[in-house]
Amino acid sequence: MNNQKPFDISEFKNTIYSDPQRYDDEYWWKTDDMEFWKKILEMAPGKKVLELAAGTARLAIPLIREGAKYTGIEISPEFCKQAEKKLSHHKMDAMFIQGDIRELDLNETFDLIFIGFNSFLHLLKDDDAEACLKCVKKHMHKDTLFVIDIFVPNPLFLYRPETRFPVMEYIDSLTGELTKVEEISVYDSDSGINKITWFYNTPSQTDDKIYNFTMRMYFPDTMNRLLIDSGFTIQKMLGKHDFTDFQEDSELQIYICKK
Protein backbone atom coordinates (compact mmCIF):
# COMPACT_ATOMS: atom_id res chain seq x y z
CA MET A 1 0.00 0.00 0.00
CA ASN A 2 1.37 3.33 -1.04
CA ASN A 3 0.12 6.40 0.85
CA GLN A 4 -0.48 9.65 -1.00
CA LYS A 5 -0.45 13.02 0.75
CA PRO A 6 -2.77 13.29 3.80
CA PHE A 7 -6.48 13.63 3.17
CA ASP A 8 -9.63 13.73 5.22
CA ILE A 9 -11.39 10.39 5.63
CA SER A 10 -13.70 11.51 8.44
CA GLU A 11 -16.79 11.47 6.21
CA PHE A 12 -16.29 7.71 5.71
CA LYS A 13 -15.65 6.79 9.35
CA ASN A 14 -18.36 4.57 10.72
CA THR A 15 -19.86 3.83 7.33
CA ILE A 16 -20.05 0.56 5.42
CA TYR A 17 -16.73 1.65 3.89
CA SER A 18 -15.00 0.88 7.19
CA ASP A 19 -16.43 -2.66 7.21
CA PRO A 20 -14.99 -4.59 4.24
CA GLN A 21 -16.13 -8.05 5.33
CA ARG A 22 -19.75 -6.88 5.52
CA TYR A 23 -19.41 -5.00 2.21
CA ASP A 24 -18.08 -8.08 0.43
CA ASP A 25 -20.76 -10.27 2.02
CA GLU A 26 -23.65 -7.98 1.15
CA TYR A 27 -22.57 -7.44 -2.49
CA TRP A 28 -22.11 -11.17 -3.25
CA TRP A 29 -24.69 -10.69 -6.04
CA LYS A 30 -22.97 -7.78 -7.79
CA THR A 31 -21.49 -9.35 -10.92
CA ASP A 32 -23.68 -7.78 -13.62
CA ASP A 33 -21.06 -5.20 -14.65
CA MET A 34 -18.00 -7.47 -15.00
CA GLU A 35 -18.44 -8.41 -18.67
CA PHE A 36 -19.03 -4.73 -19.43
CA TRP A 37 -15.72 -3.67 -17.87
CA LYS A 38 -13.86 -6.47 -19.67
CA LYS A 39 -15.23 -5.18 -22.99
CA ILE A 40 -14.29 -1.61 -22.06
CA LEU A 41 -10.75 -2.85 -21.38
CA GLU A 42 -10.68 -4.34 -24.90
CA MET A 43 -11.76 -0.95 -26.32
CA ALA A 44 -8.97 0.94 -24.51
CA PRO A 45 -5.78 1.71 -26.45
CA GLY A 46 -3.69 -0.37 -23.99
CA LYS A 47 -3.92 -2.35 -20.76
CA LYS A 48 -2.74 0.23 -18.25
CA VAL A 49 -5.78 0.79 -16.04
CA LEU A 50 -6.63 3.17 -13.20
CA GLU A 51 -9.78 2.49 -11.19
CA LEU A 52 -11.08 5.33 -9.01
CA ALA A 53 -12.80 4.45 -5.71
CA ALA A 54 -11.72 0.86 -6.24
CA GLY A 55 -13.35 -0.69 -3.17
CA THR A 56 -12.15 -4.14 -2.16
CA ALA A 57 -10.87 -5.18 -5.63
CA ARG A 58 -14.24 -6.54 -6.83
CA LEU A 59 -13.50 -5.36 -10.39
CA ALA A 60 -9.70 -5.45 -10.12
CA ILE A 61 -9.59 -9.24 -10.02
CA PRO A 62 -11.50 -9.98 -13.27
CA LEU A 63 -9.70 -7.15 -15.08
CA ILE A 64 -6.24 -8.35 -14.03
CA ARG A 65 -7.24 -11.82 -15.29
CA GLU A 66 -7.89 -10.12 -18.65
CA GLY A 67 -4.35 -8.71 -18.66
CA ALA A 68 -4.92 -5.28 -17.08
CA LYS A 69 -1.88 -3.60 -15.58
CA TYR A 70 -4.00 -2.34 -12.74
CA THR A 71 -3.82 0.55 -10.23
CA GLY A 72 -6.70 1.22 -7.84
CA ILE A 73 -7.29 4.31 -5.71
CA GLU A 74 -9.43 3.89 -2.61
CA ILE A 75 -9.98 6.23 0.34
CA SER A 76 -10.84 3.64 2.98
CA PRO A 77 -7.77 2.12 4.69
CA GLU A 78 -9.82 -0.93 5.69
CA PHE A 79 -10.92 -1.49 2.08
CA CYS A 80 -7.33 -1.11 0.84
CA LYS A 81 -6.18 -3.79 3.28
CA GLN A 82 -8.98 -6.12 2.22
CA ALA A 83 -8.18 -5.52 -1.46
CA GLU A 84 -4.51 -6.30 -0.92
CA LYS A 85 -5.40 -9.47 0.96
CA LYS A 86 -7.64 -10.63 -1.90
CA LEU A 87 -5.08 -9.73 -4.56
CA SER A 88 -2.29 -11.57 -2.76
CA HIS A 89 -4.58 -14.59 -2.24
CA HIS A 90 -5.00 -14.68 -6.04
CA LYS A 91 -1.23 -14.04 -6.45
CA MET A 92 -2.03 -10.95 -8.50
CA ASP A 93 0.36 -8.13 -9.07
CA ALA A 94 -1.42 -4.77 -8.81
CA MET A 95 -1.04 -1.38 -7.14
CA PHE A 96 -3.67 -0.44 -4.58
CA ILE A 97 -3.16 3.10 -3.32
CA GLN A 98 -4.95 4.69 -0.41
CA GLY A 99 -5.94 8.09 -1.73
CA ASP A 100 -8.67 10.60 -2.43
CA ILE A 101 -9.87 10.77 -6.02
CA ARG A 102 -10.27 14.54 -5.60
CA GLU A 103 -6.54 14.98 -4.91
CA LEU A 104 -4.87 12.43 -7.06
CA ASP A 105 -1.43 13.06 -8.54
CA LEU A 106 0.42 9.94 -9.67
CA ASN A 107 2.51 11.66 -12.32
CA GLU A 108 1.72 9.07 -15.00
CA THR A 109 -0.94 8.39 -17.59
CA PHE A 110 -3.21 5.40 -18.14
CA ASP A 111 -5.00 3.84 -21.13
CA LEU A 112 -8.26 3.39 -19.24
CA ILE A 113 -9.50 5.34 -16.22
CA PHE A 114 -12.85 4.38 -14.77
CA ILE A 115 -15.15 4.84 -11.81
CA GLY A 116 -17.77 2.11 -11.51
CA PHE A 117 -20.71 1.01 -9.38
CA ASN A 118 -22.05 4.49 -8.49
CA SER A 119 -18.88 5.60 -6.72
CA PHE A 120 -19.04 8.97 -8.50
CA LEU A 121 -22.15 9.71 -6.39
CA HIS A 122 -19.89 10.10 -3.35
CA LEU A 123 -18.65 13.36 -4.87
CA LEU A 124 -21.25 15.40 -3.05
CA LYS A 125 -20.76 18.86 -4.53
CA ASP A 126 -19.88 20.31 -7.92
CA ASP A 127 -16.49 21.28 -6.43
CA ASP A 128 -15.77 17.64 -5.53
CA ALA A 129 -16.78 16.39 -8.97
CA GLU A 130 -14.75 19.09 -10.72
CA ALA A 131 -11.69 18.38 -8.57
CA CYS A 132 -11.93 14.68 -9.42
CA LEU A 133 -12.40 15.34 -13.16
CA LYS A 134 -9.39 17.66 -13.14
CA CYS A 135 -7.29 14.88 -11.57
CA VAL A 136 -8.59 12.39 -14.14
CA LYS A 137 -7.53 14.66 -17.01
CA LYS A 138 -3.99 14.92 -15.63
CA HIS A 139 -3.69 11.14 -15.86
CA MET A 140 -4.96 10.86 -19.45
CA HIS A 141 -3.02 10.79 -22.69
CA LYS A 142 -4.70 11.70 -25.96
CA ASP A 143 -6.27 8.25 -26.50
CA THR A 144 -7.18 7.41 -22.90
CA LEU A 145 -10.75 6.28 -22.30
CA PHE A 146 -12.48 7.62 -19.21
CA VAL A 147 -15.68 5.83 -18.18
CA ILE A 148 -18.23 6.64 -15.46
CA ASP A 149 -21.01 4.22 -14.49
CA ILE A 150 -23.82 5.55 -12.24
CA PHE A 151 -27.56 5.01 -11.90
CA VAL A 152 -30.17 7.52 -13.03
CA PRO A 153 -31.99 8.90 -9.97
CA ASN A 154 -35.53 7.59 -9.84
CA PRO A 155 -38.13 10.00 -8.39
CA LEU A 156 -40.21 7.01 -7.25
CA PHE A 157 -37.39 6.13 -4.85
CA LEU A 158 -36.32 9.68 -3.98
CA TYR A 159 -39.77 10.73 -2.79
CA ARG A 160 -40.70 7.57 -0.94
CA PRO A 161 -42.09 7.94 2.58
CA GLU A 162 -39.39 8.08 5.22
CA THR A 163 -40.03 4.57 6.46
CA ARG A 164 -38.00 1.37 6.21
CA PHE A 165 -37.88 -0.52 2.93
CA PRO A 166 -36.16 -3.88 2.39
CA VAL A 167 -32.96 -3.63 0.31
CA MET A 168 -31.21 -7.00 0.28
CA GLU A 169 -30.39 -10.20 2.15
CA TYR A 170 -27.08 -11.96 2.56
CA ILE A 171 -25.30 -14.56 4.67
CA ASP A 172 -22.75 -13.08 7.05
CA SER A 173 -19.52 -14.98 6.39
CA LEU A 174 -18.38 -14.71 10.02
CA THR A 175 -21.54 -15.80 11.80
CA GLY A 176 -23.34 -17.73 9.05
CA GLU A 177 -26.49 -15.74 9.90
CA LEU A 178 -29.00 -14.58 7.32
CA THR A 179 -28.87 -10.78 7.49
CA LYS A 180 -31.69 -8.63 6.14
CA VAL A 181 -30.96 -5.02 5.24
CA GLU A 182 -33.58 -2.26 5.40
CA GLU A 183 -33.21 1.33 4.25
CA ILE A 184 -34.57 4.77 5.08
CA SER A 185 -33.57 7.60 2.78
CA VAL A 186 -34.14 11.33 3.03
CA TYR A 187 -33.69 13.33 -0.15
CA ASP A 188 -33.03 17.08 -0.31
CA SER A 189 -33.91 18.25 -3.82
CA ASP A 190 -32.07 21.60 -3.39
CA SER A 191 -28.66 20.04 -2.79
CA GLY A 192 -29.44 16.77 -4.59
CA ILE A 193 -28.16 14.95 -1.50
CA ASN A 194 -29.73 11.68 -0.46
CA LYS A 195 -29.04 10.70 3.16
CA ILE A 196 -29.38 6.98 3.51
CA THR A 197 -29.46 4.76 6.59
CA TRP A 198 -29.10 0.99 6.37
CA PHE A 199 -30.35 -1.22 9.20
CA TYR A 200 -28.88 -4.74 9.45
CA ASN A 201 -31.18 -7.28 11.09
CA THR A 202 -30.26 -10.83 12.02
CA PRO A 203 -32.52 -13.57 13.43
CA SER A 204 -31.05 -12.87 16.87
CA GLN A 205 -30.83 -9.08 16.73
CA THR A 206 -32.92 -6.30 15.18
CA ASP A 207 -30.66 -3.37 14.18
CA ASP A 208 -27.56 -5.45 14.82
CA LYS A 209 -25.71 -2.70 12.94
CA ILE A 210 -26.75 0.67 11.54
CA TYR A 211 -24.74 2.57 8.90
CA ASN A 212 -25.34 5.98 7.35
CA PHE A 213 -24.06 7.12 4.00
CA THR A 214 -24.65 10.01 1.69
CA MET A 215 -24.90 10.20 -2.07
CA ARG A 216 -25.51 13.02 -4.49
CA MET A 217 -28.16 12.31 -7.07
CA TYR A 218 -26.67 13.30 -10.42
CA PHE A 219 -29.17 13.75 -13.25
CA PRO A 220 -27.90 13.43 -16.84
CA ASP A 221 -28.04 17.19 -17.51
CA THR A 222 -25.67 17.84 -14.57
CA MET A 223 -23.31 15.08 -15.72
CA ASN A 224 -23.24 16.50 -19.24
CA ARG A 225 -22.49 19.98 -17.93
CA LEU A 226 -19.74 18.83 -15.55
CA LEU A 227 -18.02 16.66 -18.15
CA ILE A 228 -18.14 19.21 -20.94
CA ASP A 229 -17.11 22.15 -18.69
CA SER A 230 -14.19 20.02 -17.45
CA GLY A 231 -12.97 19.54 -21.02
CA PHE A 232 -14.16 16.02 -21.83
CA THR A 233 -15.86 14.89 -25.00
CA ILE A 234 -18.59 12.32 -24.48
CA GLN A 235 -18.00 9.65 -27.13
CA LYS A 236 -20.96 7.52 -26.06
CA MET A 237 -23.66 7.63 -23.44
CA LEU A 238 -25.01 4.18 -22.63
CA GLY A 239 -28.07 3.17 -20.63
CA LYS A 240 -27.17 -0.47 -19.90
CA HIS A 241 -24.15 -2.68 -19.38
CA ASP A 242 -25.00 -4.45 -22.66
CA PHE A 243 -23.95 -1.27 -24.53
CA THR A 244 -27.52 -0.17 -25.35
CA ASP A 245 -27.60 3.58 -25.99
CA PHE A 246 -29.01 5.79 -23.23
CA GLN A 247 -32.77 6.39 -23.48
CA GLU A 248 -35.31 8.39 -21.48
CA ASP A 249 -36.22 5.36 -19.37
CA SER A 250 -32.67 4.01 -18.87
CA GLU A 251 -31.79 3.01 -15.33
CA LEU A 252 -28.07 3.64 -15.82
CA GLN A 253 -26.07 6.52 -17.26
CA ILE A 254 -22.67 5.37 -18.50
CA TYR A 255 -20.32 7.93 -20.03
CA ILE A 256 -17.45 6.91 -22.29
CA CYS A 257 -15.26 9.96 -22.66
CA LYS A 258 -12.00 11.21 -24.07
CA LYS A 259 -10.30 14.50 -23.33
| DSSP three-state, residue 42 | helix
Identity of the residue, 74 or 245, whose beta carbon is nearer to ligand SAM in the bound complex: 74
Q: How far is the CB of 53 from ligand SAM (least distance, A)?
A: 3
Position among 41, 101, 254, 257 found at the interface with ligand SAM (CB under 6 A): 101
Distance in Å, CB of 222 to ligand SAM, minimum: 18
Please, which residue, 35 or 245, has the CB nearer to ligand SAM? 35
- DSSP, res 91: T
Using the minimum distance from each CB to ligand SAM, give the nearer residue, 6 or 176. 6
In the region spanning residues 23 to 82, those forming contacts with ligand SAM, defined by CB under 6 A, are 53-55, 58-59, 73-76, 79
Burial class of residue 159 (count of CB atoms within 10 Å of its CB; 0-12, 13-18, 19+): exposed
- Minimum CB–partner distance for residue 150 and ligand SAM (Å): 10
* Identity of the amino acid at 103: E
Asked if 171 and 179 touch (Cβ cutoff 8 Å), the reply is: yes
Quickly count: other Cβ atoms within 10 Å of residue 170's Cβ.
18
CB 223 within 8 A of CB 255: yes
Query: Shortest approach of ligand SAM to residue 118 CB, angstroms?
Result: 5
Which residues ranging from 118 to 147 are in contact with ligand SAM (CB under 6 A)? 118-119, 122
Q: 170 φ, ψ to 5°?
A: -155, 165
Smaller CB separation from ligand SAM, 104 or 256: 104
* Closest residue to ligand SAM: CB criterion: 55
Minimum CB–partner distance for residue 58 and ligand SAM (Å): 4
Question: For residue 213, how many C-alpha atoms fall within 13 Å in the half-sphere facing its CB?
Answer: 18
Please, which residue, 11 or 245, has the CB nearer to ligand SAM? 11
Site size toward ligand SAM, by CB under 6 A: 20
Cα 144 from Cα 76, distance rounded (Å): 26
Residue type, 218: Y
Least distance CB 110 / ligand SAM (angstroms): 16
CB of 206 to ligand SAM, least distance (A): 25
Nearer to ligand SAM, 22 or 58 (CB): 58
Query: Which residues does 107 contact at the CB level (< 8 Å), separation at least 6?
Result: none
Residues that bind ligand SAM (CB under 6 A): 12, 17, 53-55, 58-59, 73-76, 79, 100-102, 116-119, 122
